[in-house]
Structure 1
Amino acid sequence: MSKHVIITGTSRGIGFELVKLFAQQGHEVLALSRNEKPVQALNLENVTCFPFDLGNVAAYKKVDDFIHNNWQSVDILINNAGALLNKPFSETGIDDFENVYRTNVYGVSELTRIVLPFMKTGSHVVTISSMGGVQGSMKFPGLAAYSSSKAAVIALTELLAEEYRDSGISFNVLALGAVQTEMLEEAFPGYQAPTTASEMAEYIFDFSLNGNTYYNGKLLQVSNSTP
Structure 2
Amino acid sequence: MRFLFYMKTILVTGGSRGIGLATIKRLLTQGHKVINISRNSPALEQDLTEEQRFIQINCDLGQLDKNVLESHLANNHPIDVIFNNAGTLINKPFLNLTDEELEQVYRINVFSIFKLIQICFMYLAQDAHIVNVSSIGGISGTQKFPGLSVYSSSKGAVTVLTECLQAEFQHTSLAFNGLAFGAVQTEMLESAFPGYRAPVDANEISEFIAWFLLNGQKFFKGKILPVSISNP
| TM-score interval (norm. to shorter) | over 0.9
Counterparts in 2 of 1:144-159, with a 5 A limit? Answer: 144-159=149-164
Question: What is the aligned counterpart of 1:38 among 21, 36, 43?
Answer: 43
Q: Deviations over 1:137-192 (max 9, x none)?
A: 00000011100000001110000001111120000001000000011001100000
Tell me if the contact between 2:179 and 2:225 (Cα under 8 Å) persists in the aligned partners: yes
Alignment pair present for 1:20 and 2:20: no
What is the aligned-residue identity percentage?
A: 44
Tell me if the contact between 1:6 and 1:78 (Cα under 8 Å) persists in the aligned partners: yes
Tell me if the contact between 1:97 and 1:145 (Cα under 8 Å) persists in the aligned partners: yes
SS at match of 1:122: strand
The offset of 1:37, in angstroms, is: 4.9
Question: What is the aligned counterpart of 2:111 among 86, 106, 109?
Answer: 106
Question: What is the aligned counterpart of 1:190 among 190, 195, 198?
Answer: 195
Question: What is the aligned counterpart of 2:73 among 67, 73, 79?
Answer: 67
1:96 corresponding residue in structure 2: 101
1:50 corresponding residue in structure 2: 57
Question: What is the aligned counterpart of 1:219 among 216, 220, 224?
Answer: 224
Q: What 5-or-longer segments of structure 1 have no aligned partner?
A: none
Q: Deviations over 1:110-134 (max 9, x none)?
A: 1111112212332100011111101
Question: What is the aligned counterpart of 2:121 among 116, 125, 140?
Answer: 116
Between the aligned partners of 1:61 and 1:142, the Cα distance in structure 2 is 37
1:210 corresponding residue in structure 2: 215
RMSD of equivalent CA atoms: 1.3
Tell me if the contact between 1:39 and 1:49 (Cα under 8 Å) persists in the aligned partners: no
SS at match of 1:178: coil
Tell me if the contact between 2:9 and 2:77 (Cα under 8 Å) persists in the aligned partners: no
When the two structures are aligned, how many residues end up with a matched partner?
225
Between the aligned partners of 1:37 and 1:215, the Cα distance in structure 2 is 30
Tell me if the contact between 1:31 and 1:39 (Cα under 8 Å) persists in the aligned partners: no
Normalising by structure 2, what TM-score? 0.93
Between the aligned partners of 2:42 and 2:158, the Cα distance in structure 1 is 28
SS at match of 2:224: strand
Q: What 5-or-longer segments of structure 2 have no aligned partner?
A: 1-5
2:3 corresponding residue in structure 1: none
Normalising by structure 1, what TM-score? 0.95
Between the aligned partners of 1:124 and 1:151, the Cα distance in structure 2 is 20
SS at match of 1:86: coil
Higher helix share: 1
Tell me if the contact between 2:35 and 2:54 (Cα under 8 Å) persists in the aligned partners: yes
The one-letter code of the counterpart of 1:49 is Q
Between the aligned partners of 2:50 and 2:197, the Cα distance in structure 1 is 31
